[in-house]
Amino acid sequence: MTTHSHVILNIAFLSKRDKPNLHPYAFIGAVLPDLPIFIFFIIEGIILKTPQRELWGTRYFTEAWQNFFDIFNSVPLILILLGIGYYLLNSEKIIVFAWSLLIHCGFDFLTHHDDGHHHFYPFSDYAFESPISYWDDAHRANIFAPIERIVILVASIYLYPRLKTRLARWSLIIVNILFVASYLLFFIFRSR
């Protein structure tokens, strides 16, 4: 799934009407697993100017980059964090953050075909190949992408009244507009 889908769904799943102060922890947990990919793109694509085909076809799959991605998508490491938050620190903020990380990993597990993470790192190099890809039409993205947009719109409608600041509400609206626009540009117009 796209990063903004993770953000909206995770905040919707983890939001509590009486505790909007926990939204930032759900937000950070939703974004953090994708942060290494943004760093990868900045270094490889922008700084080193690696051609797009090599960037996503070769460099993305090198062991060094995969290990970097996997640290932030490791279910065992996240479960340790969840245990620390729950049993040692009794911190609702850490618990929400860890659950958001886990939810992100769960959705990635289900929506990545040949570019999935090693979710059991460092104990295993196994990467599940889902029959569904959030971006690759060869693995049903043409079906999944519109469903993802509808689910995000429904989650946004649910989430909107739970957001307490004008900035948060406008951010949600803008993200949805950009989300629909990106769908139109990527999936519809690329086939023409």
Q: Residue 97 in contact with residue 26, Cβ under 8 Å? A: yes
In this prediction, residue 142 carries a pLDDT of: 85
Residue 146: band (very low, low, confident or very high) from pLDDT cuts 50, 70, 90: confident
Question: For 35-62, how does the pLDDT look when each residue is reduced to its tens digit (9 = 90+)?
Answer: 999 999 999 999 999 999 999 999 999 9
Q: Between 3-14 and 166-183, two packed helices, what is the crossing angle to 10 degrees?
A: 140
Give the list of residues 6+ apart from residue 108 with CB closer than 8 angstroms, or none: 1, 33, 73, 116, 117, 119
Return the percentage of the chain with pLDDT > 70, whole number.
96
- Distance (Å, rounded) from C-alpha 16 to C-alpha 104? 19
Q: For residue 189, is pLDDT > 80?
A: no
- Distance (Å, rounded) from C-alpha 186 to C-alpha 191? 9
Residues 160, 161, 164, 166, CA torsion sign: positive
Q: Is 90 exposed, middle or buried (0-12, 13-18, 19+ CB in 10 A)?
A: exposed
What pTM, to 2 d.p., does this model score? Answer: 0.89
- Distance (Å, rounded) from C-alpha 45 to C-alpha 61? 14
Q: For residue 180, is pLDDT > 90?
A: no
Q: How many CB atoms lie within 10 A of CB 77?
A: 17
Question: For 96-129, how does the pLDDT look when each residue is reduced to its tens digit (9 = 90+)?
Answer: 999 999 999 999 999 999 888 999 999 999 989 9
Residue 15: band (very low, low, confident or very high) from pLDDT cuts 50, 70, 90: confident
Q: Residue 180 in contact with residue 149, Cβ under 8 Å? A: yes
Q: For residue 134, is pLDDT > 70?
A: yes
Helix, strand, coil distribution of the chain in percent, nearest 5: 75, 0, 25
Q: Residue 32 in contact with residue 174, Cβ under 8 Å? A: no
Alpha-carbon Rg for the chain, nearest whole angstrom, is 17
Mean pLDDT on 90-98: 96
- Domain boundaries defined on the chain: 3-191
DSSP state of 33: G
Q: Residue 178 in contact with residue 34, Cβ under 8 Å? A: no
Q: For residue 192, is pLDDT > 70?
A: no
Which of 6-10, 23-27, 135-139 has the least mean pLDDT? 135-139
